[in-house]
A = this chain, B = another copy of it.
Amino acid sequence: MITLVIYDITDDELRNKVASFLRMKGLKRVQKSAFLGDLSHSERVNMEAGVRRLIKDSKANVQVYPLTPACYSQRSVIGVEMSYDEEEFLV
């Protein structure tokens, strides 16, 4: 299932850790605080458990949305493609 993960994490270091973890799980950055990718049910469960472990009691909010192919095909992108290459090196 195509899965969108969005996060709001106050601490810079933790935010980078979560981004790095999501990338490691095969998700692709689509915004500064949003990752998207195709995950099986067990991959999703595993990813969520990892995120939960990482954030523990931190001031963080992570939301995971499964998207059907129909939903995904109806998404709109307005504006410019942002580049996140620099941040990749910081993580």
Footprint of B on A, CB under 8 Å? 4, 6-8, 30-34, 48, 51-52, 55, 57-68, 70-72, 74-82
Contact = CB atoms under 8 A, between A and B. Distances in A.
Contacts of A81: 61
Given A8-B33, A31-B7, A61 B76 contact: no
How many copies, total? Answer: 2
A75 B67 CA distance: 10
Contact of A6 (B31, B51, B62): B31
A7 B77 CA distance: 10
A67 B75 CA distance: 10
B74 A66 contact: yes
A31 B61 contact: yes
